Structure 1
């Protein structure tokens, strides 16, 4: 199927390719447009920069001369001759006419100070007199000579001068000798201290030709000057400001925009004076830009035409070349699969449909094989675990048939036993389907976790989930612990299923799988000692190999007596800690067997019962019926359960003893006090002797006595002896040596030291005083 024979259709891949190639051809077009726009912007910026430079020169020249006029107006306002005529009123006297002549002479001098000034007028409102450099007139004549526009009335003109203070520029028309000319008027008021007195106004008239005489326009551009109110001040091209020179278009300090003047496109550049607020505008024909861009435009147009032509030819060539392989592939698929290809349809869609049909058929076949393969593969793995290998089939063929590729000859086996089915055992009964589901989840999780670092194969035998681990490179026993821990955590976190894991040692060869399986079974049986929910390694078992210590039994008589003392005093925390230490010593160093461990727990229970019998608890029978320690401990299946049960029994017993002691909290201290007062004369009286008498350890006895009386037991013994010694010293009938022996001190030096410690003086000094 060739490109020439194939009809172009909107669904065909050819259309998509052509659109893609054409889209690529648009890239140089867009780039050329961007280059043209950038070039236009550069040319425009350069021309605008030249115009702005011209306008800045004009602005600086005009602003400089206007600033000179404003300074001159200030000087004139301070002139005594000009300000002195303000108070003159009508009619004028000869003296007044003389002053007018003097003022005119001064004005001629002021006029020569600045070339921009065409005429100077001083309008005195009080006398309605206007003095110029040539003559004097009245306000009506000044109105006819200078006003802003022809339509302005005298009253409107007069209101401008009636303002209290004037200092501003205004465009006017100057009429002299029957001719009119555009000009600019700068008006500044002369004000006296008396606000009621009408003032005077100085008027400077500047012709627009003066403003523009030193400025030459460039690039056939026109120049215009506008004041702050956007009124035309001066222009070299038109009498009135064009409509486009409105305030909104000239709102910024400077800028550039395009407009039309007499039907011709112009580029308008403007800038604003900081001192006067006037706007200086340059208008250049837009065709000047086109002249500068014509050459660049021609080059870009030619490059675009060449790019489109050559790109079109290349696109057609590659479309034809790239379509031939697809055409051959479609022809091959249609002839072999029997699925016809409709001319003009989408080729990719046809290929996708054909491949989907092929993959779907393959998946159906694979699913049918997989259902049988799982059972066969599981049976094969169970044979490896139990040492039942098929003799007629070589091992490597069996492994290949079950898609098992071994990395190394080193193996280990992990077993998982379900202790509690969690969410699946909410009613106390596990549905067989849910039980199989839990087993399936455990095997999949174990295979995924172990497969992260090594190869893993899972199966189920005798309701125990088995994971065979084939190490890849490093034989790391710690990795097995990590796998077991992750599987246990996942099942507990997601399904509340509690597991016990058993781990074998590492063995070499396929025959070693059977040995590893037997080791893991032995480790799982040790769950009775370690408790459910644990990870049990075969290497940690007492019988794992030669050199392992055999189980011992640790529960000496002095430890039992210490536990009895703790229980008698109701100290649950210390009693529980001591029981935990006994269990840890028996289990950690050389783990006990299950029967021996139960004997240990029964011994502990017997100790509790003997203690309760010795202390004579008031509610002992009731406590035994409520706690029922014998039945609770014999019903335990693991040492961990027995540890929990013995802790609960111990807590209840200690709490009962504590309740009895609360009824007579100070009984021990009173008994000890009575005993000390009775035996203070004995040389053998000490804390150890008292503890043996009350069947308590010396440290515990001292602590309890201090807690109940607030006084140390040894201090109480010394004080009791010293009280009797002071009584005997007062009788004066005994020697100090004899008194020391009578109060229990065999050594007189000890007696002297203790006496001085508590009384501050020696016994002999005390005897002298009393």
Structure 2
């Protein structure tokens, strides 16, 4: 073919192409730089606002939490209300408050509590005098300043021997000069959190406190290796001032000056590019006119041929390329449509032939079978083959996790991996998805001496590949080797039967039909265990759990198929229905409320462990309900007797829920529930109420010392009495006596 016209057209446009492309690149980069600058301004404004918002939210949330604990946390109040440092329990409670704050806010480096009553500082689980604490000077300044604020960029160390850390500090006063809560936020950690919002190589962020000091100067001294640019290393694009802390946030680009210098020549480049483009347009018009004639001849020829095949077809002189495109697209679409219809019909016919071959719905003669296998380009069934069934494990979860399109794709992948594994072992496999959950396949087996070994390698490799590439597993059942079509159909039944033992043998494995153990279904033993389980449940005996475990152990030891297991479970439910039919109505209602929603869920289990977990959930709930009914009937009459005993023996220091439980032989948890249900209040609240009322009566009617009164009403520890009295009455016992 003569390509002179092609070369002439190519050489005509190449110079224009190179020139125009070069200029367009220049314009593009200039516009891109200008656009980048505008976007940089917006990005820096957004970054500054985000950094400011992050600082405010982080510091404000810590401040709010500390303030709330000061006002509401009884542990913290108790610590500051204790004089001296001998109350170890108060210290433990304070440690709990500090640990909770540190866990909730990872930015916090350390917290210490200053108590002015005894001039001590509680830090790292122990109290030391203020003069011996390394941060004593800061505490003194904070007490003199008498303000509650954030202090920025200072060095702090909890022990004299350790190296100082750079922190920002929150100071919160407690009560009316009772003490201080000092929270130190690790400045390097705060900087790392903020630096994750931007790239320090191109952008800088500086934060200045109220005094004008740069917080990052202190953070860099604290050991951070990342470089935080100074304000003189780039242009400041945005600045925000926090309304909460009063700190100023500045952001900008490190190379802002270079960008400004490059953009000065933007207009010159733009004018030059426009001129070159105009010259290129003129040149293109000239070359196009000169080279149009050969194109016109080709268009005329195509139009003539197309018009002969389709009368009335034509084109306008202004749209000859549309005519060419439409004609070619029509021809291509028709070809594709014919191909797709042929392939789709072939796939359906192949799948239908697969079902006929395995299910025995059609008898094939030798010639018919050979013709069908050749038609679908399959190996001839001339030697030995076997049927394998691949089942997706936990198919309900598979459908929940993947959409329909993803499910189809993953099933295709399963089939493709199987075919690839077969080719790797030098054999062939024909696989079809006849059901949603199962992939059926015919496997060609090599000669006798290598067949079993090849089959094992293929299936093991297939399982390994599925586990490696997919997020779910499969279980494979395989039948015996067949030598004719009749044996092939028998192999299918054996493979399906082998999968029935997946419930006992487990998932993600190969189950050959020859290795399926014989079931030892001893109905008498099952009935005996079921009877014991039902009786124990009926009598609310804890031994039902032992019988429940024994039943599933028997099922596992007997190696039952899925259908046999379901028959056993149905037998269990029938016994329950018969036993509960003889009980009062409320017991029958409890049985129905527990097991009615359980029955539909029993259809979706795959392994014996799944079935056991489902049944255990229902049986556990039923046992609790039965226990509640039994205990309610047995102990409800005792509650009035117990209340009377409390009113008469409230001054017994040993009186507690466990004490009453042992005395009246009632479970402590159930006794607590009885108090709340029958009396309307907890046991502790009832006991404290009686003791405080008696104490108030003694303080009014006698001159006994408060310590003596506390012992008389059952408190061996005066502090416990004082705390309980204040919680109930609202004032201390001494203040109450004075007021009355």
Name the TM-score class by shorter chain: 0.3 to 0.5
Highest CA radius of gyration, 1 or 2?
Answer: 1
Task: Give the structure with the larger helix fraction.
Answer: 2
Q: TM-score, normalised by structure 1?
A: 0.31
